Amino acid sequence: MTADELEAFNREHFPQVDHLGLKVEQVDDSSITISMTTRERHLRPGGTVSGPTMMELADAAMYLLLLAQIGPVALAVTTSLNINFLRKPEPGRMLAKGRILKLGKTLAVGEFSLFANGGEEPVAHVTATYSIPPKR
């Protein structure tokens, strides 16, 4: 699936995440970069981007990357997501850059780094596993 197809699929099937304003910046055979702009509702006291916001960004990135590989499968689901918070992310534009580590018949594993405001050092590192439903 192309970047435009992924965004359209996400809007149609998951309107509840429209508030994130996700944009597919780049997608190819094994990697993806998506962005979002954090707003006041995404912040913790003290002005840092919340952990749940970063987890939501990483989970969406893994889902969209998986769809780019296998096509529009709405019932693919997260089975595991591990996140390591590395630095305090300032509000603004966040990027999730990731790749598929393994794509099997029933499971896919990906790895992602999250970046804030054009920073060169990641603010979080994520691994995620998705379950792929059987073809009917």
Residues paired with 37 in a beta bridge: 93
Going by C-beta distance under 8 Å and a sequence separation of 6 or more, which residues neighbour residue 58? 81, 83, 96, 98, 112, 114, 124, 126, 128
Contact predicate 24/32, CB 8 Å: yes
Average pLDDT value for the chain: 90
Confidence of residue 47 (pLDDT cuts 50, 70, 90): confident
Contact predicate 96/38, CB 8 Å: no
Question: Is a pLDDT exceeding 70 seen at residue 105?
Answer: yes
Hey, what domains does the chain have and what are their CATH numbers?
3-131 (3.10.129.10)
pLDDT tens column, 51-74: 999 999 999 999 999 999 888 877
Contact predicate 91/43, CB 8 Å: yes
Per-residue pLDDT averaged across 1-26, rounded? 83
